[in-house]
Amino acid sequence: MRSLFPSDEKYVEVAVPLPLDKPFTYRVPAGQEVRARVGVRVLVPFGRQKLTGLVTAVVDESALDGHAAKDVIAFLDEEPYITGRHLAFLGRAARACLAPLGEMLRTALPRGLARHDAPSTPRTETFYSVAPDAVDATMTPKQKLVAAALREAGALSSAALSAKVPGGADVAKRMVLRGLAAAEVRDKVVGLSDTHLPDLAGTLDPTPAQHAALDAIGATIRDHAAATFVLHGITGSGKTEVYLRAIEMVRSQGRQSIFLVPEIVLTPQLLGRVRSRFGDGVAVLHSQLTPAERTAQWRRVRAGEVFLCVGARSAIFSPFPDLGLIVVDEEHDAAYKQEDGIRYQARDLALLRSAIEGATVLLGSATPSAEAVRMTQTGAATLLELPERIGDSTLPEIRIVDLKNQVGRRGADRYFSPELEAAVEETLARGEKAMLFLNRRGYAPVLSCLDCASTIQCSNCQVSLAFHKEYDALLCHYCHGRQKAPDACPTCGGHKLAQMGLGTERLAAWAEKRWEGARVARLDSDVGRTKGAASDVLARMHRGEVDILVGTQMIAKGHDFPEVTFVGVLYADASLNFIDFRASERTFQILTQVAGRAGRGDRPGTVLIQTLSPDNSCLHRIAEHDFFGFMKEELATREALAYPPFGRMMLLRLWGVKEERVRDASALVAVALSEALAAHDVRLLGPAPSPIARVKKLYRFQILLKMPVDFPVADVFPELLRPLRDAVRRHGVRLEADVDPYQMLV
Ligand code: ADP
Ligand code: ZN
């Protein structure tokens, strides 16, 4: 019942970590009003359960609209768990991705909103220092040694102390009891083990180009302006140095920075540089952290104990109290797009967050994305250039090799031109290192019957199975199903099953056989599956223990191996022929990045690109190191077709167990959308079966929407899609929206 008299009772709106769009309203129990603040966590009754939620607004009775409200059971935080600005960011990010706020909270906060965010086995360490009033005369000789070590360092962790003075930690513990020393428990800095990290300390004088870039960036950092810069520079041109100095500027203002990298496990060198520069002031978020470690890092960030967070895409959610800068290194990398759960693009969220926080965004790349280049053309971003490699190293010479006429070569040999073989030979003869790049893992991508020409397919998915020798099995790269290779063709019973095509595993085996005595190593996601194996290969590479490194794009990312002077691209067509409007852009990016591994030291590098389409213009632009020439052509094509960045796209995916139902549901959604959007300039393509129409036993359909670039996606679609999602779910069909999709193929 609504009271006739206005009450001064307080209510809170609470978002719970469930896929729900709307917050729920609860009454604040009398006497607890001061604790009701935006951003604190609360325990609330929800149906028959109790849930932890986050207060999104403090309201009065009028918000109830006549409904009854249950009481908040408990307020869990004295101080807001996250700032109001951060909450505002998460709300807008949720709408931009067409995701419910509750789901965004679950994605962005460690373990959702779990009540006990303290790790159950705390990763802490004890730091000792000498008590201010301790008198040496009262100490034993051993205690004096410990005191001297502590005084010299100020404070030491127990591990560091025991390393200096054997048994030192135990001595210090007893000194604390006697009042001779003080102990302080701190969260342990967790991350990659420091043993792999080269020490690259030391400060450098910026080059004139770095100076110019830093002047421009420094001005917006000082003004707390939400400005965006695209820092274009080839590998080795000094971008990282610019990032680190910009981070220093922000730190000197007492503000914090986020440094996003595509894949943190692949960047030990970068981490080494960051650590040696900033020491303990850095939190590192990477995918191999346990939930407890992740929570511990998150707390350090929230408390402002660190001024920099380095991490992969999810680090964009770092809850810093006063964010001044977001660096997105290799901003073109597709790894910034999250491909399950909420499909967010971390680079785009960086721009969104910058606008809310007044933070500067620095998008760095040797091959900026079409989106970033377009931003510099419209004035949304400022282009900064680092035109030269630092030092004497020059760009590698890149040549294109026609793979069509490999006369007399059979099997895997067809993938090796005489030019490539000779180049590897010469490289090894000079005592230098080579890299061979192939964007396909496994031994052979296809097992094909020579009698009936059918290929062995996954029984769950509409794709060919790849043969992996190391597992002695056929693997599906979509559902990760594994089965034994059959002796006979399942279609015709024939016994001539041939391993077709080339994967990294076969390439490594081939290289080992061809260059006996050469030390060959392989790096791809199969290797990466074993914990520590990838960083192991990289460490061996750094120690010069690998002569030929074979791998997928994992070998391309940011590594700096001065001894590598030759890079061979086995088969450029693998990425060029993708049915995706970004195929050329991706090929340019990945091959430029791979090529950039050659000749980083003082010896010049050579690159060979083998292809079946030697006239392809994208490949020629790569060979000419002509990024802007390529981008000009690419943007012209995109504009003509109204593809991003000149239009926006959204992919609706529908899937379910029964093909009929998925087809009918897709038709229903398409009709509803075309009616609702009739007045708008939106084009609907489909519904059609997805390019891979069946994955994990589920049938998949899709609808592609093409919209003008300024279409208010976040305002129109949440309300439009909600009833449709519910309607198809009643038919056992799931509907998912992917705004600005990157994976068009699956
Ligand atoms: P990028 O990030 O563009 O690949 P880096 O910042 O890693 O480039 O710089 C490449 C190399 O040049 C590194 O070894 C770095 O230490 C060095 N370097 C960067 N800036 C300078 C400078 N101003 N003076 C001398 N060496 C520099
Ligand atoms: Zn499968």
DSSP letter at 457? B
Distance (Å, whole) CA 204 – CA 214: 14
**Which ligand neighbours the alpha carbon of 362 most closely?**
1
* Confidence category of residue 195, pLDDT binned at 50, 70, 90: very low
- CATH code of 300's domain: 3.40.50.300
296 within 8 A of 186, measured Cβ to Cβ: no
- Residues contacting residue 532 through CB under 8 Å, at least 6 positions apart: none
Query: Could you tell me the residue range of the domain that residue 182 belongs to?
Result: 124-187
The residue contributing the CA closest to ligand 1 atom 14 is 236
* Confidence category of residue 414, pLDDT binned at 50, 70, 90: confident
Q: Over 80: is that where the pLDDT of 187 sits?
A: no
pLDDT (0 to 100) of residue 115: 58
pLDDT (0 to 100) of residue 192: 33
Could you say which of 135, 165, 187 is where a domain stops?
187
In a domain, 296, yes or no: yes
Distance (Å, whole) CA 308 – CA 323: 10
Q: Which protein residues touch ligand 1 with a CB less than 6 Å away? A: 204-207, 210, 233, 235-241, 390
In a domain, 211, yes or no: yes
pLDDT in tens, 257-273: 999 999 877 677 788 88
* Confidence category of residue 188, pLDDT binned at 50, 70, 90: low
pLDDT (0 to 100) of residue 431: 92
- The CA 372 to ligand 1 mean position distance, Å, reads 23
pLDDT in tens, 301-338: 888 889 999 999 999 999 998 999 999 999 999 999 99
Could you tell me the maximum CA-CA distance found in the chain, to the nearest angstrom? 95
- CATH code of 66's domain: 3.40.1440.60
Indicate whether 593 and 616 sit together in one domain: yes
* Confidence category of residue 375, pLDDT binned at 50, 70, 90: very high
Indicate whether 529 and 413 sit together in one domain: yes
Q: Over 80: is that where the pLDDT of 123 sits?
A: no
- The CA 205 to ligand 1 mean position distance, Å, reads 10
Coil, strand or helix at 652: strand
pLDDT in tens, 553-591: 888 876 778 888 999 999 998 877 776 889 899 999 999
In a domain, 113, yes or no: no
What would you report as the CA-atom Rg of the chain, rounded to the nearest whole angstrom?
29
The residue contributing the CA closest to ligand 1 atom 25 is 204
* Confidence category of residue 245, pLDDT binned at 50, 70, 90: very high
- The CA 240 to ligand 1 mean position distance, Å, reads 7
- The CA 596 to ligand 1 mean position distance, Å, reads 14
Indicate whether 535 and 610 sit together in one domain: yes
Average pLDDT, the chain: 87
Distance (Å, whole) CA 724 – CA 670: 10
Distance (Å, whole) CA 299 – CA 2: 42
Indicate whether 239 and 308 sit together in one domain: yes
Coil, strand or helix at 705: strand
Long-range contacts of 668-673 (CB under 8 A, 24+ apart): 668/724, 668/727, 668/728, 669/703, 669/724, 669/728, 669/735, 670/703, 672/724, 673/703, 673/705, 673/720, 673/724
- The CA 363 to ligand 1 mean position distance, Å, reads 17
**210 CA: nearest ligand 1 atom:** 23
- What would the mean pLDDT of 144-151 be, rounded to a whole number? 91
In a domain, 117, yes or no: no
**Which ligand neighbours the alpha carbon of 481 most closely?**
2
- The CA 214 to ligand 1 mean position distance, Å, reads 14
Q: Over 60: is that where the pLDDT of 199 sits?
A: no
**235 CA: nearest ligand 1 atom:** 4
399 within 8 A of 513, measured Cβ to Cβ: no
The residue contributing the CA closest to ligand 1 atom 15 is 238
Q: Over 90: is that where the pLDDT of 694 sits?
A: no
Query: What pTM, to 2 d.p., does this model score?
Result: 0.82
Higher pLDDT, 445 or 631: 631
Indicate whether 208 and 252 sit together in one domain: yes
- CATH code of 712's domain: 3.30.70.600
Distance (Å, whole) CA 409 – CA 415: 9
Which range, of 90-94, 98-102, 405-409, 527-531, averages the lowest pLDDT?
405-409
Q: Above pLDDT 70, what percent of the chain?
A: 93
Indicate whether 352 and 455 sit together in one domain: no
| Domain count within the chain | 6
Indicate whether 624 and 695 sit together in one domain: no
Indicate whether 429 and 538 sit together in one domain: yes
Could you say which of 592, 610, 637 is where a domain stops?
637
In a domain, 177, yes or no: yes
Q: Which of 241, 329, 384, 602 has the most ligand 1 atoms within 8 A of CB, as the residue to mutate?
A: 241
- The CA 241 to ligand 1 mean position distance, Å, reads 6
- What would the mean pLDDT of 23-37 be, rounded to a whole number? 89
In a domain, 225, yes or no: yes
Distance (Å, whole) CA 482 – CA 475: 5
Q: Which of 203, 277, 390, 393 has the most ligand 1 atoms within 8 A of CB, as the residue to mutate?
A: 390
Indicate whether 527 and 616 sit together in one domain: yes
**Which ligand neighbours the alpha carbon of 204 most closely?**
1
**Which ligand neighbours the alpha carbon of 593 most closely?**
1
Indicate whether 230 and 274 sit together in one domain: yes
The helix or strand, by DSSP H or E, that contains position 628, with its residue range, turns out to be: helix 627-641
- The CA 354 to ligand 2 mean position distance, Å, reads 40
76 within 8 A of 43, measured Cβ to Cβ: yes
- How is residue 30 written in tokens? 């009398």
What are the angstrom distances between the C-alpha of 640 and each of 377, 378, 644, 744? Answer: 17, 17, 11, 19
Q: Quick one: how far is CA 228 from the chain centroid?
A: 20
**244 CA: nearest ligand 1 atom:** 6
- Report which of 372, 404, 423 is spatially closest to residue 589, judged by C-alpha positions: 372
Higher pLDDT, 473 or 560: 473
The helix or strand, by DSSP H or E, that contains position 549, with its residue range, turns out to be: strand 548-551
Indicate whether 432 and 509 sit together in one domain: yes
In a domain, 118, yes or no: no
Indicate whether 423 and 532 sit together in one domain: yes
Distance (Å, whole) CA 191 – CA 283: 8
**273 CA: nearest ligand 1 atom:** 16
User: What is the dihedral sign for C-alpha 435, 440, 441, 446?
Assistant: negative
DSSP letter at 205? P
